[in-house]
Amino acid sequence: MKPEPLRRLEDPSELLAQPRLAAVVEDAPGDERRLKLPLARLDAAAELLVERHGRLVGMFCVDRPEPSLLVSIAFRGELIALRAPLEGEVEYPSLARFSRAALLPERELHDRFGLVPVGHPELTPILHPDPDRITRDVIGAGTFVMPYGPVRSGIFESIQYEIETGGEDVLALHVRPFFKHRALEQRFRDLPYEHGTLLAERVAGIATVAHALAFAQAVERATGVEATRRAQRWRVVHAELERIANHLDVAMKLADDAALAVGVARFGILKEEIMRLRARLCGSRFGRGVVVPGGVSAPLLAPNDVLRALDEFERDLRRDRRLLLATTSFTDRLIGSGRLDFAAIESYAGVGPVARGSGVATDARFERPYGAYVRLGGDPVTSEEGDAQGRLLVRFGEIRQSLHLIRQAFERLDKYGPELRADLPPVDATGFGWAEAPMGEVVYWVALGGGRVRSTRIASPSLRNWPLFAASFRGDVLTDFSFIEHSFGLTPAGADR
């Protein structure tokens, strides 16, 4: 099957002008479309859009311009925001009726804001999980539940899994996130733009640049001011370096699972070289302090130094990649593990390499280009396999693509003016910002007022992909668990916020 990109929405005006929806169009910047609807019609409108292959991105309860329920649905080329004022109501028709991607967000909304989705199949508390609670889904002789987490064996982030097993095979998997819930969305209140960017960096530490980018772009779109061209190109460089580091980390963890110590060592060296390059480039191994609202901070290295380091890195990577993929004791463990098909990805609205590994060609850099990606262009890297090896091949392809993008970004740098930063005025506005993090698309919604951030909402790619992880175990056994988990490459810190 050919890789399927996210579809464009055809005839949106005709679609959304249906009288029964009673939708009112609001002002929105370029590739956004905002509609105001009555609360009772929200699910019908969302269902229409999801039927037309829109991807449910997030459901937020916002307080600007008035307390409302905000549902955002992504298409190729535009992001549609359906806003329904709450007007004191707490019940609303559940979107989980037609979209599995709404299951987790609605539970979170219920716990945080008390909004009740009518018709939700399993409305159980999600925010403060009880580590001692046992969920049994499968009845059968000799089946039992094996808890794994929240404290796990290895240097991993905390999340709890309950594995229902008959001894060797995994019959059902329950994922319990939100052990690391830091309530960061609330922390954004009344922060100046700069402090907000610093906080956004620390929502998901391994996707620092992507989150900061999404936040900064949300602020920039709300204020109507773009970052400078030179800054946009540097932003691309940092984002792609972060992507390379993440993908190398995934390869390293997979090699560790297969007990291939040489693979772990070689990819550890490669990842360390990238982290040290980033440290020389900006003073922080994770790119902290790079993205500022309106631009970037001054780089500490010249582009030629970066390119030289990357050339040497690419030579090493090519040889190590070839060796790794030729080691059958390693690839045997990946082939066939955690198979996800196209339909599953679509029904859960999956994003990132997980989706691209199953043939869904969705990538925020290329379907709703932002910053310098508008001029750089490109196509998402996909694979047809759908298993852990497919996802790993997608990641290796993306590393190559990232190196190419960095070289492209540096190419015409001298054409642009030297300004690295634009000033952002204080406004009263709301805006969306998005960026393609290494795990998938991250979307921020911000409401600004008086030069400060009033309210922020985050749609994290890891939270959207965790249900896919639970659904990806079909006929796999316990020893495949860590392979499948690491091939997803998700971060609980980003999901739990």
Partner 1 sequence: MLEWLARGLHKGIVTTGYPRRPEPAPAGFRGRVAVIEAGAADPSLEDVCPTGAITVRDGDVALDRGRCILCGLCVAADPARFTLVSDFETAAGSRWALVVGEPPVATLDAVRRTLGDRSRTLRRSIHIRHVDAGSDGADEWEISALTNPYYDMQRLGLYFTPAPRHADVLLVTGGVTESMRAPLARTYEVMPSPKAVVAAGTDACSGGFALPAGEVAGGVDQVLPVHVYVPGSPPSPIALLHGLLLAAGIVTNEIANERQAQP
Partner 2 sequence: MTWILGAGFVALAAAVLLPLLSPRLGALAAAAGCVLLAVVGFGSAAGWTHATVQLGTWLGFGDSALVCDRLAGIFFALVGGTGAAVSLALFERPPTRLVASLHALILLAVATVIGVDQAFVFLLAWETITLSLYLIASADRDRPGNLVAAYFGAGLSKLGGACLLAAFGLLYAHTHTFEFSGWMHVSDLGATRSVVFVLLLLGFGSKIGVLPLQGALPPLYVASPGASAATVTIAFNAGFYGLWRLVFGTLGPGPMWWGELLIVLGGLGALVGILYAVTQDETKRFLGFSSVEHGGIILLGFGVALVGQSTHKPDLAAVGLLAATLQLIAHGIAKPLAFLGANRIEDGTGEETMRPLGGLAARMPRTAIGFGIAMVTLAALPPFAGFVSEWFTFEALLQGFRLDSTLAQLIMALGAALLALTAGIGLLAFARLYGGIFLGRARTVLDACEPSGPGLGFVGLSLVLLLLGPAAPWEIRWLGRGLEGLLGFNLSASTIKWPLTLGPVYPNFSVLAPTWLALGIPTFLLAAAALVKLLLRPHVRRAPVWLSGTAMDISAVQYTPEAYANPIRVVLAGAYGFRRSLEPVPPDPTAPDEPGKRALVTRVVPAFEHYLYRPVEHGALWLSGQARRFQSGRLSTYLLYVLIVLLAVLALIPALRS
Q: What residues make contact with partner 1 under the rule CB under 8 A?
A: 128-129, 131, 150-158, 178-184, 186-187, 191, 194-195, 198-199, 202-206, 208, 249, 262-266, 268-269, 271-272, 275-276, 279-280, 282-286, 288-289, 300, 316, 319-320, 323, 491-494
Q: Name residues whose C-beta falls within 8 Å of residue 97's C-beta, 6 or more positions apart in sequence.
A: 43, 47, 119
CB 396 → partner 1: shortest distance, Å? 17
Residue 13's identity, in one-letter code, is S
Half-sphere exposure of 272 (CA within 13 A, CB side): 6
Q: What is the 3-state secondary structure (H, E, C) of 11-23?
A: CHHHHHCCHHHCC
Residue 184's identity, in one-letter code, is L
Rounded distance, CA 192 to CA 194, Å?
5
192 counts as binding partner 2 under rule CB under 8 A: no
438: nearest Cα among 231, 254, 233, 249: 249
Q: Pick from 51, 137, 190, 384 the residue near partner 2 by CB under 8 A.
A: 137
CB 256 → partner 1: shortest distance, Å? 9
139 counts as binding partner 2 under rule CB under 8 A: yes
- Residue whose CB is less far from partner 1, 150 or 336: 150
Q: Which does 137 bind (CB under 5 to 8 A by kind): partner 2, partner 1, none?
A: partner 2
What DSSP string describes 335-359?
A: TTTT---HHHHHHHT--HHHHHTTT
Q: Which does 280 bind (CB under 5 to 8 A by kind): partner 2, partner 1, none?
A: partner 1
324: nearest Cα among 250, 272, 273, 402: 250
- Residue whose CB is less far from partner 1, 55 or 110: 110
Q: Pick from 90, 138, 298, 374 the residue near partner 2 by CB under 8 A.
A: 138
CB 99 → partner 2: shortest distance, Å? 17
Q: Which does 129 bind (CB under 5 to 8 A by kind): partner 1, partner 2, none?
A: partner 1
Q: Which does 144 bind (CB under 5 to 8 A by kind): partner 2, partner 1, none?
A: partner 2
Rounded distance, CA 1 to CA 16, Å?
31
- Residue whose CB is less far from partner 1, 2 or 128: 128
Q: Mapping DSSP to helix (H, G, I), strand (E, B) and coil, where does residue 249 land?
A: helix
Q: Name residues whose C-beta falls within 8 Å of residue 24's C-beta, 6 or more positions apart in sequence.
A: 35, 36, 37
Rounded distance, CA 327 to CA 5, Å?
32
CB 298 → partner 1: shortest distance, Å? 10
Q: Pick from 22, 90, 118, 134 the residue near partner 2 by CB under 8 A.
A: 134
- Residue whose CB is less far from partner 2, 114 or 140: 140
Q: Which does 269 bind (CB under 5 to 8 A by kind): partner 2, partner 1, none?
A: partner 1
373: nearest Cα among 405, 415, 330: 405
CB 9 → partner 1: shortest distance, Å? 34
CB 320 → partner 1: shortest distance, Å? 7
- Residue whose CB is less far from partner 1, 8 or 276: 276
Q: Which does 122 bind (CB under 5 to 8 A by kind): partner 2, partner 1, none?
A: partner 2
CB 329 → partner 1: shortest distance, Å? 10
Per-residue binding string, partner 2, 163-182, x by CB under 8 A, is --xxxxx-xx----------
Q: Pick from 10, 122, 414, 423 the residue near partner 2 by CB under 8 A.
A: 122
Whether 160 and 176 have beta carbons less than 8 Å apart is answered as yes
Rounded distance, CA 312 to CA 51, Å?
48
- Interface region with partner 2, contact rule CB under 8 A, candidates 27-35, 127-135, 214-222, 439-447: 127-135
148 counts as binding partner 2 under rule CB under 8 A: yes
Whether 48 and 15 have beta carbons less than 8 Å apart is answered as yes
Whether 464 and 490 have beta carbons less than 8 Å apart is answered as no
Rounded distance, CA 107 to CA 122, Å?
9
303-326 helix and 388-411 helix, angle to the nearest 10 degrees: 160
CB 412 → partner 1: shortest distance, Å? 26
Q: Name residues whose C-beta falls within 8 Å of residue 241's C-beta, 6 or more positions apart in sequence.
A: 209, 274, 277, 278, 281, 287, 402, 406
- Interface region with partner 2, contact rule CB under 8 A, candidates 161-169, 246-254, 261-269, 412-420: 161-169
Q: Pick from 8, 118, 121, 316 the residue near partner 2 by CB under 8 A.
A: 121
Tell how strand 91-93 and strand 116-118 pair up: parallel
Residue with tokens 């969920």: 135
Q: Which does 22 bind (CB under 5 to 8 A by kind): partner 2, partner 1, none?
A: none
In order of 34, 76, 421, the CA distances from 67 in angstroms are 16, 29, 34
Q: Which does 138 bind (CB under 5 to 8 A by kind): partner 2, partner 1, none?
A: partner 2
CB 177 → partner 2: shortest distance, Å? 15
Q: Which does 141 bind (CB under 5 to 8 A by kind): partner 2, partner 1, none?
A: partner 2
132 counts as binding partner 2 under rule CB under 8 A: yes
91 counts as binding partner 2 under rule CB under 8 A: no
154 counts as binding partner 2 under rule CB under 8 A: no
212: nearest Cα among 289, 133, 135: 289
Q: Which residues bind partner 2 (CB under 8 A)?
A: 121-122, 131-132, 134, 136-152, 160, 165-169, 171-172, 477
